[in-house]
Structure 1
Amino acid sequence: MCWPTPDGLSLYFADINDRKVAAGKAAQLSSRLALLAEVNARLLEAVDVRAAIEEVPGMLVPLLADGCVITLLQADGRPRAVAAWHADPDQRAALDAHTAVPLEVMPAASPVARVLATGVALRTSVDEVHDMLPVEDTRNLLHSLDATNGLVLPIAGRDRVLGALSLFTGTGRSPSADDEATAADIASRMGVALDSARLARAQAQIAEGFQRNLLTAPPEPDHAHIVVRYVPAGESARVGGDWYDAFLQRDGATVLVIGDVVGHDVEAAASMAELRSLLRGIAASSGGSPAEVLTSLDTCLELLQVGTMATAAVARLEQTPEQRAAGLTRLSWSNAGHPPPLVLHPGGELTFLAAQRADLLLGVLPGTRRTEHEVTLERDTTVLLYTDGLIERRTSDLDEGLDRLRSAVGELGGLPLDELCDGIIDRLVDGRPDDDVALVAVRLHRQDRPRPPEAGPRHLPTAVNRA
């Protein structure tokens, strides 16, 4: 700064280097913190953690390094480079070619192999790696990348090393201690995310397998073809509460059940198993009507102190000799707070079996009076019972979901029953649903003709009255 004075010209000098250095460090710190926040958000919000991790190299370069490679151990224990990125677009092809070299041909003393084996971070140089490469072409590729300095960090889970994060810089650039600390933090976060995803998959497989083992194959009565479907929720923690059932009572009547325990976790799956067993035991031993079965189930929940609530619909198909001769079947049903069954009549008419006033859920008020309803159905009628995961969406209400179901069944109703059920799920469930989906469908085939091939052979338990 300068200005005129009576004595001449005055000058003032100030050294701002320290301020510029401080400002630069503050900017770098801010950039590193923003990077950590972005990576963390991606990993936390990711539905597919592996896919999110494959985006990380493009986020780390060029802030922390000139190039980045992520190596993960596969299910068979072999390492594979799953993602790579270079700050120089002209170098990306060479980096992709270099990472395509199978890592299992590298000696055990190579930097990545040592980090995978020990879980300890390692600094390395291009000369160290160069001498280990088995083929001259791969050595030339490495030199073309100008990867002078390298840092390999373990991607570790709770009890094992899951992969490695490799960073390298070219001539004239050396990563700072802050850069290394930031990269180590990111590698640690990737390891936790991968490990959490692995544990979640394991839990989901256990819960889903447990649930599928409980949901048995339907019977094959003479007068009907029964098809069941179960689709687990997209999120592992939501596996649990939905169930279907279909079985015969001693007098030959067919019972259809659909239910949904309140809650979406492994505890809900355990409660579902208990309620399902109680209900089928009550219905099979007592031969009771749908309302009687639900009333008895409510009583059992109180007496056994089963602290859970659930919705359920029970339907019973039966016919007198006169109805059989006339090609008719009587359907009685009772509904404890569950979505209404849907009937597709032979002429294409669609009817929801909904009472004017809905009954309470199971487990809410012991002694609740259960109402029962009845309708007579013709041959070739189709009845669908389903859980709310089929029709409910976060972006729409229940009525819109019922309309979607009505529309799908109306368009697909002429298909064989298996294809109808698959088509309904394809249309109404986009990929893996937000909630479990259970579906049981029955089609009343003609009894004055041979049993349709798609209905399978007639198979009845020996205890069932075969008259």
Structure 2
Amino acid sequence: MTEEPEETTPGEPADVPYLSLFNLPLSSDLDRLGEQMHDLARAQRTFQGLLGAVVSISSELELPTVLRRIVRTAMDLVGARYGAMGVLDDSGEQLAEFVPLGLTSQELTGLAGVELPRGRGLLGHLIRHPQPLRVDRIAAHPDSAGFPPGHPPMRSLLGVAISVRGRIYGNLYLSDRKDGKPFDRHDEGVILALAGTAGVAIENARLYDQVRNSSERFQRLLLPELLDLRPFESGAVYRPARTPGQLGGDWYDAVKLSDTSCIAVIGDVVGHDLEAAAAMSQTRNMLRALTFEGHTPPSAALTQLDRIMDMTGGQLLTTACVARLEPADRGWTLRWSSAGHPPPLVVAPDGAAHYLEAEPGLPLRVDTAQPRPDHSTSLPPGSTVILYTDGLIERHDRSLADGMRALAALARHHAREPVDQLCRSLADHHPSDGHDDMAALILRTPGP
């Protein structure tokens, strides 16, 4: 027999559970749910912050900038008031460099004269034990060595080692969350994730330095050391472009002749590669051979060089300026010829500066049939002649004329300096944007 279904009240649904306040979630459940939502939101913000950190840190190539960017990013990710990067020395036992951030100007003043940390106390603990370190009360830790006089008080610490190619490069230190809470496991996980990115960014920056230094060293090996040019005071400077691994075509040369005159040359082969560097070296050597005899006018030397380059099949455009300083009755005579090169800059003994504006001529490898003019001017004793390449004055956001005016003003400002120092001043404070290599050759005639 089958059972008859139970009767229900008309309008009342069958099998519907009875709703009661007793069935609602308890407050503790709501609290846990709120904490989970808070943790989820925090994790999402952290993930977005890490993505931004990867892009930001990886975009830098200069090592000092990379280190500061790592520290600043770590501080932002966990809300730390203070941060620092300690770079280990070659022995890996103490700090060779310390990069602190977050200190106010007043706190920096209080630390004036205090030696940077070398790796004692908790910093030394992290060096000896490169595992993540979280300390709620720095003063209570058995390895704490205290702070030097003038050091701002710090309560909590989070330290993480940074490895580069499997070797500990340094340690990242964070102190005092801005909300007053101690660092937690979430903070530790975030900084550990950042440390992996930091290691890659540091290695990229180190490779950048190696490539740049190798290219610069190769370039300098192609350039001559200035010979003894007395009685002239002489100096030269070369600076590579900012782009890593770029070889340049800038060169200079100077030779003193037997009649007390001096030949000075500046030039620039267009290009930033091995071919440009090789062409520069060949051109410099040919031009030295053409001018060494001394009786050849500057224009004739450039004309012969242009014909040789045309016969040998060189394809790179080249500019150059050949100048000859020779004694005269009351001073010196400067004779020069230019192959599309910027004009020489002359600084008088009283500090006044002016350019030797004249027909610049065509660059080499353009038209060997065109004549090249010679120019001459008289110089009083104690005059300074500055030959330079356009990398010293060129900016993409302004004209060459503006750069030339800025260079002349810079030369006037440093006119009293010895020639070696004047070279460094022009290279250190140049008005260009640094996107091209630059060279300068300076000769100063003897005084009265």
TM-score for the superposition, normalised by structure 2: 0.68
The amino acid of 2:337's aligned partner reads S
Give 1:385 deviation, angstroms: 1.2
The amino acid of 2:282's aligned partner reads E
2:324 to 316, 321, 325: 316
SS in 2 for 1:55: helix
1:220 to 207, 229, 235: 229
State how far apart, in whole Å, the 2-side matches of 1:273 and 1:332 are: 24
State how far apart, in whole Å, the 2-side matches of 1:24 and 1:373 are: 79
Cα 1:33–1:425, aligned 2, differ >3 Å: closer, same or farther?
Answer: same
Residue-by-residue CA offset, 1:115-157 (whole Å, 9 max, x unaligned):
4xxxxxx456769x9999556869xxxxx9466xx774x4233
Identical positions, percent = 28
State how far apart, in whole Å, the 2-side matches of 1:82 and 1:255 are: 49
Residue-by-residue CA offset, 1:410-445 (whole Å, 9 max, x unaligned):
5655x3652783586278427995544422233333
Cα contact 1:340–1:352 (8 A) shared by 2: yes
After superposition, where does 1:109-124 map in structure 2 within 5 Å?
112-115=127-130, 122=131
The amino acid of 2:66's aligned partner reads V
Cα 1:334–1:431, aligned 2, differ >3 Å: closer, same or farther?
Answer: closer
After superposition, where does 1:87-236 map in structure 2 within 5 Å?
103=119, 112-115=127-130, 122=131, 133=142, 145=155, 152=160, 154-158=161-165, 160-165=167-172, 174-176=184-186, 182-213=190-221, 214-220=223-229, 225-233=232-240, 235=242
Give 1:377 deviation, angstroms: 1.2
1:32 to 43, 47, 55: 47
Match of 2:73 in 1: 56
The amino acid of 2:342's aligned partner reads P
State how far apart, in whole Å, the 2-side matches of 1:73 and 1:166 are: 13
Give 1:54 deviation, angstroms: 3.5
1:82 aligns with 2:98: yes
Give 1:197 deviation, angstroms: 2.4
State how far apart, in whole Å, the 2-side matches of 1:430 and 1:125 are: 49
The amino acid of 1:175's aligned partner reads R
Residue-by-residue CA offset, 1:275-303 (whole Å, 9 max, x unaligned):
32232133226853322322333344444
1:360 aligns with 2:367: no
Give 1:230 deviation, angstroms: 0.8
State how far apart, in whole Å, the 1-side matches of 2:418 and 2:159 are: 60
Cα contact 1:244–1:438 (8 A) shared by 2: yes
TM-score for the superposition, normalised by structure 1: 0.66
State how far apart, in whole Å, the 1-side matches of 2:98 and 2:268 are: 41
Residue-by-residue CA offset, 1:205-229 (whole Å, 9 max, x unaligned):
33444444523124425xx524223
Match of 2:388 in 1: 386
After superposition, where does 1:183-332 map in structure 2 within 5 Å?
183-213=191-221, 214-220=223-229, 225-233=232-240, 235=242, 237=244, 240-249=248-257, 253-264=261-272, 268-284=276-292, 288-318=296-326, 324=328, 326-327=329-330, 329-332=332-335
State how far apart, in whole Å, the 2-side matches of 1:131 and 1:67 are: 19
State how far apart, in whole Å, the 2-side matches of 1:430 and 1:442 are: 21
Larger Rg: 2
Cα contact 1:70–1:82 (8 A) shared by 2: yes
SS in 1 for 2:304: helix
Cα contact 1:258–1:385 (8 A) shared by 2: yes
SS in 1 for 2:402: helix
Residue-by-residue CA offset, 1:158-189 (whole Å, 9 max, x unaligned):
4643124467999997525xx66643442122
SS in 2 for 1:230: strand
State how far apart, in whole Å, the 2-side matches of 1:25 and 1:167 are: 24
Cα 1:259–1:25, aligned 2, differ >3 Å: closer, same or farther?
Answer: same
State how far apart, in whole Å, the 2-side matches of 1:330 and 1:366 are: 29
Unaligned runs of 5+ in 1: 1-6, 87-99, 116-121, 139-143, 450-467
State how far apart, in whole Å, the 2-side matches of 1:78 and 1:201 are: 24
Residue-by-residue CA offset, 1:354-382 (whole Å, 9 max, x unaligned):
334x43333x4363535122214143243
Match of 2:150 in 1: none
Cα contact 2:61–2:208 (8 A) shared by 1: no
1:438 aligns with 2:418: no
State how far apart, in whole Å, the 2-side matches of 1:299 and 1:174 are: 75
Cα contact 1:242–1:260 (8 A) shared by 2: yes
Cα 1:188–1:318, aligned 2, differ >3 Å: closer, same or farther?
Answer: same
Cα 1:175–1:220, aligned 2, differ >3 Å: closer, same or farther?
Answer: same
Cα contact 1:232–1:437 (8 A) shared by 2: yes
Cα contact 1:219–1:226 (8 A) shared by 2: no
Residue-by-residue CA offset, 1:187-208 (whole Å, 9 max, x unaligned):
1222222222223333333344
Residue-by-residue CA offset, 1:305-361 (whole Å, 9 max, x unaligned):
445333211112346xxxx4x3354433221221111234568775422334x4333
State how far apart, in whole Å, the 2-side matches of 1:217 and 1:293 are: 20
Give 1:401 deviation, angstroms: 1.8
State how far apart, in whole Å, the 1-side matches of 2:410 and 2:121 are: 55
The amino acid of 2:409's aligned partner reads S
SS in 2 for 1:288: coil
Match of 2:407 in 1: 405
